[in-house]
Structure 1
Amino acid sequence: MELHVIIKGRKDLAEQLYQQLRTAIESGQLAAGAQLPPSRLLAEQLGVSRKTVSDTYALLTYEGLLVGKVGRGTFVNAWATRSEHVQGAADLACAANLAKWQALPSPMHHPTRDGTLRCEFIGGATTRSQFPQDEWRRCTQDALRRIAHNSGFYSQPEGLPALRSAIAGHIAFSRGVKCRDDDIVVTNGAQQALDLIARVVLEPGTIVAMENPGYTPARLLFDAMGATVVGVPVDEHGIQVELIPDGTRLIYVTPSHQFPLGMPMSMPRREALLARAFELGAIVIEDDYDSEFRYEGRPTDSLQSMDTRGVVTYVGTFSKTLLPELRLGYAVLPPAIHGAVLKAKQLTDQHTSTLPQWALAKFISEGYLLKHIRRCHTVYAGRRERILNRLAGDLSPWFEAVPTVAGFHLAALCKVPVNIALLIELARKVEVGLYPLDVFFHEAPVRSGLILGFGAIETLDIDPSLDKVRNILQKIG
């Protein structure tokens, strides 16, 4: 890559070069630590003598803007760049809106690699050791070959036909979802699916009803779009449908594995919810985020499979079954909003990257996904059993588990007052990551407790980690 310097005419060559390099350094165009071309190479590019370039480098070095390193070359000095005054957030006309976005919390923000503790009970994360690297590598290599033979044009906003067909077959088999390939749009994770649906359904001030407690990132998204988010209490049967307010336009639920408490929505409650949504003219988002992993009882069909009136949008993700970093999700759209969501998808990011789409399509069609789910199911079942045994044993003076039959997290409610913030702080000092339950409550009353994910923590680490938690609880009372 050539250094962007323009020499005009044949006069004052050294001065022209000096001024342009100095301006580039002080403005930050040439970043601190950037290496300049060797004097001979730059002289050839500019059509000037090497002495002109060498003298300019020497003068800038004398002024402290450049630094020469023996055997390596000439570099921009780390402290030489000078930034001009730029507008701060408070100077802008949109300052209030920026402040609103910056003030949004991040209750499910995953730690960085450097910030990860040895034993993490974080929800929504999977065990990397269980990921089928060899199978995924073969599928990715096949995807690269396919892309190499493509035309180079943008792809379809709804996703590759091969992947949509594979998804339709998978969710019909595993969740009883009734759909055609054309009903599916592939998204960058389930969160984008929620964003797209909300974009076309909501207007500022319209009412969104969602479970309380519920999935906070969804609530924050709807709130950021200007909606009025109403938390509807849940009981052992799921969302209390009779409390969904009049005027509601969007209803967000997690019926197969209520987030974060874990109980499934009962059949009568599901029927009541569908009837209430039809009465209101509302769209229901069914977020089926981790129900592939079921440990007890008969499997329950999706809410979407019961929908005969076209009010349910089924949202799923592969972040929980494979890896969160893949960012692949999907939505099964009812006819009423299908066209609008596709337009929104095209306007926001054109389409999801086709490389992972091709790889996932092959991964599903070759049977690798179902094999991976079965393998993980065995692992997660053992981890879940270990945690439940401890909550029913030596941790029972402080916590009780909420009955749950699916997923790979469970909620532990406090039986006695516990300083959860102090418990989390002290646990981090002994390399145990704990996470509070109260951040998922939108409105009072708030229940205190922990959300214990068992996807990321290794099985052999569970008991030693919970031993440390018990010891801390004994100390803090």
Structure 2
Amino acid sequence: MELHISLEGRRDLGGQLYRQLREAITAGRLADGQQLPPSRLLASQLGLSRKTVSDVYDRLAYEQLLVGKVGVGSFVQAPSAAPLPRPGGAPLASSERLARWEATARPLVQGPRSGFARYAFIGGRATPALFPHDQWRRCVQAALRQERGERGNYGPVAGLPELRAAIAGHAAFTRGIVCTPEQILVTNGAQQALSLLANTLLDAGDTVVVEEPGYPMARQLFEATGARVVGVEVDQEGMLVAQIPDSARLVYATPTHQFPLGMPMSMARRQALLARAGELGAIIIEDDYDSAFRYEGRPTDSLQSMDRHGLVAHVGSFSKTMLPELRMGYVVLPTALVRAVQTVKHLTDWHTPTLMQLALARFIDEGHLQRHIRRCHAVYAGRRERLRHWFGGPLAPWFELVPTAAGFHVAALVRDHVRLDMAELLRRARRADVGLLSIAPFYHGTPRRHGLYLGYGAIDTLDIDAALGIVQGILADMAA
């Protein structure tokens, strides 16, 4: 191992070594149980005699800061007392900004699986057991062999050509996207795509329009640039386009499956949104986060496929269709934005890891992604029907489902005539090991409606009946 020791001059070298090792152990920089280099090796590295290093080790062992194991080596034995705190540093010029970041909420943060309730309606999570791990493993292994000859080189900023071509074909087939591979930028998840667009397009004080209620992390991301974020209400047809202010430079929308309520944007409202953006010269970010799963009606066109003026940036994600931990996404850019957004990506992280890009390109080209989507679709459709059964029957006195045709979450709104303490419902459900989420956190202001956000990608079909049976009992008890 490399051990950082800095010796000065030629006097008291053993003392310098002793003091630095002792301070590193007591300060916790050398962890309890960590092995130190053999005395011969450390002496050679520092230009000291082996006896000098051995004497230092012996002194530390006498002070019970090291323990020697015959035939193995010397190991740190940290003192039981906690290390003294470091003295406070100098005041930072950016302390106010740091405080704002520290105070910023982190919505939708999910901890380890052990922290979830037994019955958890988690949004945005697929079922890992449905993922074709064997096929993915073969794609990764093939990518490792393919990458062998290219190791040591940086990849293209926009993404590997084979993945961009695969995404272009996939997006055209499933969403009617009209683009060339050159318009596609591969990103580390959809969230990076939003960040790149925000940093490319916004200056402090610019106006950004988001849906209300909407995706809180998009709002926070735009606010972090110093932009003025305006929430525009949604109704059963989607965003109320007439409320978009004249100053808007960027509009963020989820037209296929509104987040979090779930209804699709009507065709008339989509056309109005495109027309309004054309009037203002505003870019529209179309977040198409989970449209791969559609259950009824004719497929709706993506907003990008309707765009005739180069105003829509279409953001897609593989986290919902594959696995969140892969962190793979993309954005289909209007031609006018391609060069600028690529530059921002280059300055941010240069490129997305090439190994995963090669594996994903093969996974798409060999048809594994489409087969996986079809398999998940059948399972999710069954779960969706169980939710419709419960909220159309036993839970109907309290809630009504928002009509939706795609995705893998639904919203159940409290009926207008019902007075329900949502916080108490969530507390009682959690005590019964049922994880529910209110839609309230998705409103920036005072919620206009109250209800539940119910993700069904990660809960087993049979567990839905058990969980909602518990919820029905809690509601009946609260009403008594």
- Distance between the aligned counterparts of 1:474 and 1:61, measured in 2? 68
Contact 2:252 2:284 in 1 (8 A): yes
Give the structure 2 partner of residue 435 of structure 1.
437
1:127 aligns with 2:127: yes
- Distance between the aligned counterparts of 2:393 and 2:446, measured in 1? 30
- Distance between the aligned counterparts of 2:262 and 2:52, measured in 1? 73
Q: Write the mapping of 1:167-186 to structure 2, written as runs, cut at 5 A.
A: 167-186=167-186
Q: Secondary structure at the match of 2:191?
A: helix
Residue type at the aligned position of 2:286: E
1:276 aligns with 2:281: no
Question: What is the deviation of 1:406?
Answer: 0.5
- Distance between the aligned counterparts of 1:412 and 1:369, measured in 2? 31
Farther-moved stretch of structure 1 (270-279 vs 432-441)? 432-441
Residue type at the aligned position of 1:77: A
Measured against aligned partners, the alpha-carbon deviations of 1:39-80 in whole angstroms (never above 9, x if no partner) come to: 455456556555543432232234353355687742140546
Give the structure 2 partner of residue 84 of structure 1.
86
- Distance between the aligned counterparts of 1:52 and 1:185, measured in 2? 58
- Distance between the aligned counterparts of 2:216 and 2:358, measured in 1? 31
Measured against aligned partners, the alpha-carbon deviations of 1:275-317 in whole angstroms (never above 9, x if no partner) come to: 0001011000011111110101000010111100111111100
Farther-moved stretch of structure 1 (35-44 vs 123-132)? 35-44
Give the structure 1 partner of residue 465 of structure 2.
463
Question: What is the deviation of 1:86?
Answer: 4.3
CA gap of 1:121–1:460, structure 2 versus 1, over 3 A, is same
Q: What CA RMSD, in Å, does the superposition of the two structures yield over aligned residues? A: 2.1
- Distance between the aligned counterparts of 1:79 and 1:435, measured in 2? 43
CA gap of 1:66–1:53, structure 2 versus 1, over 3 A, is same
Q: Secondary structure at the match of 1:60?
A: helix
- Distance between the aligned counterparts of 1:252 and 1:47, measured in 2? 62
Give the structure 1 partner of residue 256 of structure 2.
256
Q: Secondary structure at the match of 1:378?
A: helix
Contact 1:5 1:17 in 2 (8 A): yes
Contact 2:392 2:400 in 1 (8 A): yes
Q: Secondary structure at the match of 2:150?
A: coil
Instruction: Specify which of 423, 448, 453 is matched with residue 450 of structure 2.
Output: 448
Residue type at the aligned position of 1:334: P
- Which structure 1 segments of 5+ residues have no match? none
- Distance between the aligned counterparts of 2:261 and 2:9, measured in 1? 74
Q: Secondary structure at the match of 1:316?
A: strand
Q: Write the mapping of 1:36-75 to structure 2, written as runs, cut at 5 A.
A: 36-39=36-39, 41-43=41-43, 46=46, 51-67=51-67, 73-75=74-76
Contact 1:404 1:410 in 2 (8 A): yes
Q: Secondary structure at the match of 1:93?
A: coil
Question: What is the deviation of 1:25?
Answer: 2.7
- Distance between the aligned counterparts of 1:464 and 1:394, measured in 2? 13
Farther-moved stretch of structure 1 (109-118 vs 163-172)? 109-118
Contact 2:413 2:452 in 1 (8 A): yes
Contact 1:402 1:410 in 2 (8 A): yes
- Distance between the aligned counterparts of 1:44 and 1:222, measured in 2? 55
The normalised TM-score by structure 2 is: 0.94
Q: Write the mapping of 1:52-451 to structure 2, written as runs, cut at 5 A.
A: 52-67=52-67, 73-79=74-80, 81-87=83-89, 91-415=91-415, 416-451=418-453
The normalised TM-score by structure 1 is: 0.94
Contact 2:26 2:78 in 1 (8 A): no
Contact 1:28 1:82 in 2 (8 A): no
- Distance between the aligned counterparts of 1:443 and 1:413, measured in 2? 17
CA gap of 1:67–1:421, structure 2 versus 1, over 3 A, is farther
Farther-moved stretch of structure 1 (20-29 vs 269-278)? 20-29
Give the structure 2 partner of residue 34 of structure 1.
34
Question: What is the deviation of 1:224?
Answer: 1.3
Residue type at the aligned position of 2:450: S
CA gap of 1:222–1:2, structure 2 versus 1, over 3 A, is closer
Measured against aligned partners, the alpha-carbon deviations of 1:361-410 in whole angstroms (never above 9, x if no partner) come to: 00000000000000000000000000110111211222111111100000
Question: What is the deviation of 1:12?
Answer: 4.1
Contact 2:36 2:73 in 1 (8 A): no
Farther-moved stretch of structure 1 (22-31 vs 318-327)? 22-31
Farther-moved stretch of structure 1 (194-203 vs 415-424)? 415-424
- Distance between the aligned counterparts of 2:358 and 2:277, measured in 1? 36
- Aligned residue pairs: how many? 475
- Distance between the aligned counterparts of 2:406 and 2:307, measured in 1? 22
- Distance between the aligned counterparts of 1:289 and 1:20, measured in 2? 53
Question: What is the deviation of 1:471?
Answer: 2.0
Measured against aligned partners, the alpha-carbon deviations of 1:449-472 in whole angstroms (never above 9, x if no partner) come to: 110000011112111111122222
- Which structure 2 segments of 5+ residues have no match? none
Residue type at the aligned position of 2:251: I
> Identity of paired residues, percent?
58
Q: Secondary structure at the match of 1:285?
A: strand
Farther-moved stretch of structure 1 (419-428 vs 79-88)? 79-88
Question: What is the deviation of 1:7?
Answer: 5.8
Contact 2:33 2:75 in 1 (8 A): no
